[in-house]
Chains A and B, each alone.
Chain A
């Protein structure tokens, strides 16, 4: 009793990955846990395959065509940092960004302009470099961080108090 021989429905499957003599010495629970570990490792490996790393715009350029994540800011040195005209094309937002090392790039985002983009202090981009242009083809490929999205912005409140008094 308690030996894996009773576990007939599973032997065929487990037999593929485990040597048969194991079934005589191992308890079913052990097998279950082994399978769970194997599944865990497989899942982890496939997850590792999904990972990418944070890049700078310069290193993204070297990995042209590969999906990368870059933390950037709007490039305010350009006269018009964000171009979006829903009348001409509601599905294209072009904007210019600069990363922390001062690398610059133009971004093509094939969706509407996020509402709070102008006021952002950080923009996290997920996409691919194509030539000189960073292309984002998923709507969630852009994450806007505003100074006061959820958490209160004491500085803005301070300014508010000082200017109106």
Chain B
């Protein structure tokens, strides 16, 4: 059938380019391999030339494929399934980019684009290492290209193409029987971008994170090349700027993800030890370990073997993390893992294709890798750097083992799972890691490589030690850190870790003065360590002092002895009613909505009781995309320098579906009686005949009767309610009175029984606009972000410094 209105050309071109990139990367791999193996220099040069050309073709193809996908999304060509499935017309332009990396195909392409960029730089800079290093990278490009091929080899699906047509995805849907299906209303719009990804961090975080992922291949490729060419120690200086770069960018990418989670998810924080978060953290920890042993080797000749091990492991863990998040194995343990895509065999093969050869080479050549028989001195920098790397390795292994439980279960047929408190299972171990790493970060730079005079070392580090101890003591005494939920041991560890963090900051700042004589150019490491120390302090304080401001003791009165622990974190606010929330008065002022009810904004005013602070938060709800009916949360926070007030909507009358089904419950009562309702009681005080007040203007000619009730609520407030019954043109009428804060409607009608009335009471959540609100306070969370920025800047300084020294 000839379909009308389809744009076939971009897809055909895209398909062609994907295949081209596959072939080009295959040629590049072979050519670079030949070049690396060639004995005659001319041969090597010829093969290298071919390798370069092929790699450049591969890079250009992927870049254009990427551009084509963007073009398709930009123009809303919904005949393409990728466009249909990941975007819609109402999407803001900046989120059109996010649509690319929402799908797996796009994320693989992004990864390949970065490999391409790094490869092009390596061509210019790697010199004699170019051929073996680029063999590894070209091979990675080959494997990535298979991920987006979308071909069937016999019955086996190889990769998933981003240029699949919607009509092919749903081949038997009836609308595709029509040649003009594109003109049908259901094809006029796509299914949209996941609402949680419609956040500016999601525009920038994935490219940075994937650059981080991609960059780990460079130290890996150098290490593999060293083993392969048996030039075991020749690459470590050349590769140093790359491992520094990888550490900086991967770290930045991870923390940007943390910032996104903080701003758009509602678990209350930025890090939840979710498997998807862990899977990217662990390769970073290992990269940091490798970076430090690499520095040790460059200066002393020690620790070359561990350097190999760390760089190989770091990259394998990157591949493994890609497997973990995309295979669907984490579904039951992670909030944001993909479900399986039917490509698991391919993802496993990806890991194996790099893990097996590199580990095989490493084991086979292990004995040949030079070591120094003489031991490091205890007063040497390298000894403690090695210890630090070992601690990083141990902590990384701990995290990845715990994260991999679902995979281990699959392999061993067990059904283990981390118990109730996942976060503490990690925090309990990582707090010690923080203490050790903080201390090592503080004092190690004061030691010289090889050996240090003890007296001199002690003299130099003394001022920083004293100052740090004083500051940490001040924080411990006046900081109010009393997180005793897990006992005194853990609380003590927190205090100790805060000292370690402060010590790392102060000592490294002082080292710039004492050790480097203020020479800032060379101070990259110290600056990065200052940032790391700040992050530690920020994490410890913001987490241990997180406070639920919306503590609600009014509602759950019948919880019994455990009332304190159970169900107190949300408060219900009625529109226009000022509520007491700890040190604030809080009012839900109004709500507004955007077109097609895509978003509901709720304006909530905060006013501190001392009158000094006043601000408005606008947490909102975003309508789910992809054909789902519910809404998702989008929190809002007030950022102060020293704390954040963070809030999100946990419930709202706007979310309730369907009509009001609550019924009036009838009570027969006389004046003086008491009627109970679900959260309080109402006293029938008196009756007024023909009331004449603000609300009702009856005269003696009318027939009207008003009941006067006093409501006593659970929190002992007294409220009034005055329903009226009257006759109009001989017909009975009811003026129902609504008590918003009790979400109650009260009606009055005569009873057959002399002196009694019929009192109708309806309790419904739909009478008055309300929101359930959760408000949290994070003190000093800015230290986490500032520390991250400083760490990245410091590492960037080190990249520049080391790269310059190579020339």
B628 close to A146 (CB less than 8 A): yes
A149 to B175, CA, bound (A): 26
Instruction: Give the contacting residue for A2; candidates B194, B374, B629, B655; CB below 8 A.
Output: B374
* Shortest distance between the CB of B452 and any CB in chain A (Å): 14
Within 8 A of B (CB), among A1-31: 1-2, 6-10, 27-29
B555 close to A88 (CB less than 8 A): yes
A118 close to B394 (CB less than 8 A): no
Closest to A8 in B: B378
Instruction: Give the contacting residue for A115; candidates B84, B397, B567, B631; CB below 8 A.
Output: B631
Q: Which of the four size classes fits the interface of chain B?
A: 35 or more
Answer yes or no: A63 CB below 8 A from chain B CBs.
Answer: no
B627 close to A160 (CB less than 8 A): yes
B170 close to A47 (CB less than 8 A): no
Answer yes or no: A137 CB below 8 A from chain B CBs.
Answer: yes
How many positions in chain A have a CB within 8 Å of any CB in the partner chain?
Answer: 72
B556 close to A89 (CB less than 8 A): yes
Given the interface pairs A52-B419, A158-B173, A164-B186, the reply to whether A116 lies near B630 with Cβ below 8 Å is yes
Within 8 A of A (CB), among B246-276: 267-268, 272
Given the interface pairs A32-B387, A39-B394, A150-B339, the reply to whether A90 lies near B651 with Cβ below 8 Å is yes
A126 close to B335 (CB less than 8 A): no
B765 close to A85 (CB less than 8 A): yes
A92 close to B398 (CB less than 8 A): no
* Shortest distance between the CB of A36 and any CB in chain B (Å): 5
Instruction: Give the contacting residue for B628; candidates A52, A112, A119, A162; CB below 8 A.
Output: A119
Which residues on A sit within 8 Å (CB–CB) of B362?
none
Within 8 A of B (CB), among A128-155: 128, 137-141, 143, 145-146, 148-154
A 39-75 binary contact with B (CB < 8 Å = 1; else 0): 1100110110011111000000000000101010000
A164 close to B184 (CB less than 8 A): yes
Given the interface pairs A2-B374, A50-B419, A156-B626, the reply to whether A137 lies near B555 with Cβ below 8 Å is no
Answer yes or no: B415 CB below 8 A from chain A CBs.
Answer: yes
Instruction: Give the contacting residue for A138; candidates B187, B191, B394, B420; CB below 8 A.
Output: B420
A43 close to B394 (CB less than 8 A): yes
A138 to B317, CA, bound (A): 31
Which residues on A sit within 8 Å (CB–CB) of B338?
150-151
Answer yes or no: B517 CB below 8 A from chain A CBs.
Answer: no
* Shortest distance between the CB of B581 and any CB in chain A (Å): 13
B552 close to A91 (CB less than 8 A): yes
A51 close to B332 (CB less than 8 A): no
Q: Which has the most chain A C-beta neighbours within 10 Å: B181, B626, B632, B774? A: B626
Given the interface pairs A50-B419, A119-B628, the reply to whether A28 lies near B375 with Cβ below 8 Å is yes
Q: List 28 A-B contacts (CB under 8 A).
A: A9-B378, A28-B376, A29-B375, A52-B416, A52-B419, A86-B572, A86-B651, A87-B572, A88-B679, A92-B567, A111-B650, A112-B651, A115-B655, A137-B566, A138-B421, A139-B569, A141-B420, A143-B335, A145-B331, A149-B339, A150-B194, A151-B339, A152-B86, A152-B191, A153-B626, A162-B175, A164-B185, A165-B181
Interface residues of B (CB under 8 A from A): 84-86, 103, 166, 169-170, 173-175, 181, 184-187, 191, 194, 267-268, 272, 331-333, 335-339, 341, 373-378, 383, 386-387, 390, 394, 397-398, 401-402, 405, 414-423, 425, 428-429, 552, 555-556, 565-572, 624, 626-633, 650-652, 655, 678-679, 743, 765, 770-772, 774
